[in-house]
Structure 1
């Protein structure tokens, strides 16, 4: 009997060992029974409450600890119990493709969990501390769940070894967190498509090793925006989906992305030309670009591209034929706005191959097709001022005020031969101001970091030639109007040398002596004249006035320095006494050239605004103006419709008479302007006709 007893004892011991090996940890068993009840798994999964959980279908254990629950695609319903967080040895939780709803309970503390697959369910809420302590997470899939809007919590940083994170169509809101690019050195796949994201691509993505990035199709009125230049440094990219957002600015250079094969960029607001790196890439097999605002020529892609979605009619290409070159002026304008990062407004308005033949925003041309004005004021522009503005040889006005431009003023702008106005006010420009010609009206106020030691070259100063050069008309422009010669021609001098003859020099000296003698006689006469009347000083934009000094009954002397023209590079001065005398007192004054630039007159009359009209006559309209020192003037502007012989003679007559005559009953002529079709006379402003 003894051997039988020994054998029986051995069998009992063996069964005890087997039973102990399959017996689940009590805490794990309790959690599993709670899970079975919550999901109704006793029926669907045939999990019997009378059996050990480690023996259940789709449950794996090790040493009595539950390590894997794989219940995907089992048509399970119900919700997850909080006891799920007690399965501290769990490495894999797969519940995808079921109908589980409610809140996902906190799994904080499951430090062994590596794979979390909860996608394609009906979960409604995920707490901000859900990822706390999940230090071993490798892959997370939360796609296609109707969560309440939630932001990716910072607690996800605990999963430093994360490789795949996917939450498409999961109502993820807010911005794309920077730590998604910095906290996970092994992150390979990041998918956040069809969510509620907004903001820009994080700059932290530079240098990221992500191979697959899905951020496409943000919904609910939300979208990602800004530039996408950061991706040119994501050299590990193989698949990039950014379609159906509001990304703008230029396409990046992808020459360093040697493994990129799938690039989806359609349905955005991307601008500028398609870079050569797109067409020369040897890895690209699929690309979509339709429904953007792409400019320049239509690209021709290599044969390696098997799927191409690009409709030239939806873009702003200069031509619709692939490979056709744009006009050189189009290329120049695109190179200029490249410094502004190709703003959307230009992409929307600059269409076609002829900037002067269409309604190109901010561009004005003359009748010869030369660009004369670039007006980009108040457009919210960023970036810097392009030196390529100097490639517009006929440019007269460069207007860039009230933007956010930084950097310095390119010295190349000073070489533009016909430039008359540069308005850079109210930006963020810094550095020294280049030495522009005196004829350029330069406005730099409102730039706090610009050099304060550089004088504004437009200022009119005594003894300087401040007039516009005689050859300042754009190429091809006809400046002679009904007999008035172009400004670089002196009447009667055609075919003659422009050199100054000795006889002219001698005559000029004698004339100067006569004028000085006449002034001396007038001064002596006025010295003894009583009851002289004081006149208010008048200062035109190009005159320097010396205030009269009152010494008893002495005369009131006023010195007026008027800028000469190009034909007379010096300044012409006149000294005369303005004192009351008899009704026949007339003083003849040789004032020389009294030309005033059109830019100054436009400035002081608010561009000939309606509110400044004093009256209208048969030959033009009279405008009031106010100089910077408060002096008021009246500007008579000849109407373009009367520029015939009668109007010309009237204009010449007024100049001929009023430049030589001063009388107390005559309004003094301060100057005149001949600029293309413009003819203007500048008088003293006499309030109420006095």
Structure 2
């Protein structure tokens, strides 16, 4: 037998050539040895190959590490500037110990140039002063230091042509360089508000910031006049709480301003320029010295808020204002207005009678429950150039007598308990046949109407199930039409549930006092034996929950709709949290957000709401809320309710509004179930924001960037630590910028 050489067997270099071997003992032995030698050669070569591969991989890994070290370890050209800033600041929440500023907390750098592009250290309890060489950060686009304890001078940022956003508000700054805005032609958003500045004027260098969208400088000791500067893209100007004088600039005409807030100044002259600002949605000129008449505002078809109270306006209330269907809030009190009582739409909150003796227009809100459709009575001021003092005396005497007569009439009519059409406004009686109900505190608004159960039964067709538009654990909500054809929402609380009585008390003591465009209005109530009924304004579009989860796909809320709904809820919550005695809602969710015909959001259901004392930061109570919306601190046994609990619930609501996912249902990720908040944080960490948007939402090309910002705001609100969550005022500012961008 001859053993042939296998062509597949490897050989070493310079090895002996294989030869055929003959059969026999000696030959067989030689063949076996050759085979053993071949096997050992094969193992040797495989080992050598494996070692070579390992060596190659090690060299590649070393090269990669060197590359990473070269890229990320390279010193930033802005290192010296940032080290100087670090040395001038003090904060226990900033990790700025690394020699490379690009790795610091709250900073961002360009990957190629290693230049600092973002400084975002707002609300980090940072103190100290800003350094004067910040203008050397030539690639800076975002500078946010709001909500800290910074003092001293705001240094100039002149020449930073890439800068887009500057938030310096809510600090202790006292001065500002006059050339601050020089060359900032990319600047979009500025907030300098709530700083104890020494008297200063809007610097002339602001003219360079011709890309401005939002400028806010409230409560910062601003003086002088509003300069005649033209900003073609400016949508929001807020300068309230300062010492400005002079007239409204004529440059406001034909501007793109949507929000104009100039409350509490010494501004004077005419407000006629407003009629040439067709994009206005909010006008607040409260507490100035404006004179003349209210101009024709028929062209302001988007106007929602109009507050010109406490000025010196004369003339009548123009029909062009009365006829605006977009209005949600009107304040005209404490002026010198004349003429007839205006009848605004029932959807508008109207504050007219300011109680000033100098007001010559005797106005009050028209009863939403009156069955009369006749024109209101007219009241006129005695006009006499020679007898103004006599006229005022006559008016005072006449008004006093008239008031006494009305008071006597009301006392008599209360005893007779007349039908609803003429029923006086009064608080609930302190004597009720049902002693299990703790009577409502008299701190609520006494202008609420008490309505009889008989009238409510007629309006709801004996509380027909066909008219139910909502339900909850405390009762049903009905759509009702009153005798004057006004449509309202009627909530009949379950008389067998103690919580229903508590909700009645809570709603009357909180919601009964509140007046805000984004909070549902309570109009009246009924107490009849064990029954407790609340009457609200009716909002045509129903709840946000309905539009997110119960409609078919024939109509899907647009992206701008969703952002504006979140913005509306945020403004309502900021109002609640900013009251002298803040109110914590404790149950923010989509079913407690109601939408009007324009999809403007209104917060509803204050049955779980609690007030905080001014001296306290929380309310000790039982855990309350809805699964999926409750903050993580509740699960740790902390029962202290704070405003930051509302912020967390709002963040979940933002996620729900954009994703159209219910917060109490899990999201499946790679076969595992996670909560909505956990899923959002995971995708945020990977910059995969767009994947969270509901598939049916069409996002325009101009709205794509807003998606990222929207989810960043939401994820800030759902931070596990309450200290890391923003306040609702800060959320409003962020969403306001977002809304102006879309």
TM-score for the superposition, normalised by structure 2: 0.42
- Structure with bigger helix share is 2
Q: Which structure: larger Rg? A: 1
